[in-house]
């Protein structure tokens, strides 16, 4: 009983009859084992990526799910982590997982958002690196602008390098 956390007690006992019927919510430690391909395991891991309070566990969970980012719930959790996780290490790990799952408009936008809004220069540099492989007419102007005015000198330099390497002729109309 020491390992149980009890909450939500709604009925305790009937003093007249001397019988007890207790309705409660109880949490206890549960160990689940199985494949990372098991939807139940994935559901718990997706929850951990989005909601668990320990950044180390979130990072380990992102790493565990990394090869499964093509599955919609996993991919959505990685995108969520890229946009919302307070820990830069978790955001970086999620970026790696998402980029392995393929490139599409959602992925492009989440990398553009990271480049333009992330507070961590390392995350922005990782976004530059990925976007440099998939630069198009929507990405190029952002890289060009940030080459001039990103707060980090290193991010400015990386953006400028991509802009210089690709050249404006390919993107100006």
For residue range 53-110, list pLDDT tens digits in order.
Answer: 999 999 999 999 988 988 999 999 999 999 999 999 999 999 999 988 888 999 999 9
Rounded mean pLDDT, 32-46: 88
Model pLDDT, residue 173: 44
Helix extents (H) in the chain: 39-51, 55-65, 72-84, 88-100, 105-117, 121-132, 140-149, 153-166
**In order of start, what are the domains of the chain with their CATH numbers?**
104-173 (1.25.10)
The closest alpha carbon to 48, from 7, 89, 77, 11, belongs to 77
Predicted pLDDT of residue 23: 62
């Amino acid at each position: 009983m020491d390992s149980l956390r009890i909450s939500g007690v709604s009925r305790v006992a009937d003093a007249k009859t001397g019988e007890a019927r207790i309705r409660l919510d109880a949490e206890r430690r549960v160990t689940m084992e199985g494949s990372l391909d098991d939807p139940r395991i994935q559901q718990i891991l997706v929850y951990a990526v989005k909601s668990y309070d320990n950044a180390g566990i979130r990072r380990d969970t992102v790493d565990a799910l990394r090869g499964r980012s093509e599955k919609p719930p996993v991919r959505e959790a990685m995108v969520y982590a890229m946009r919302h996780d307070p820990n830069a290490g978790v955001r970086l790990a999620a970026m790696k997982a998402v980029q392995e799952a393929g490139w599409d408009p959602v992925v492009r936008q989440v990398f553009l958002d990271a480049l333009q809004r992330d507070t961590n220069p390392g995350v922005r540099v990782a976004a530059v690196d990925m976007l440099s492989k998939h630069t198009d007419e929507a990405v190029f102007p952002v890289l060009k602008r940030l080459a001039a005015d990103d707060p980090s000198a290193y991010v400015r330099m990386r953006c400028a390098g991509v802009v210089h390497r690709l050249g404006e002729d390919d993107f100006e109309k």
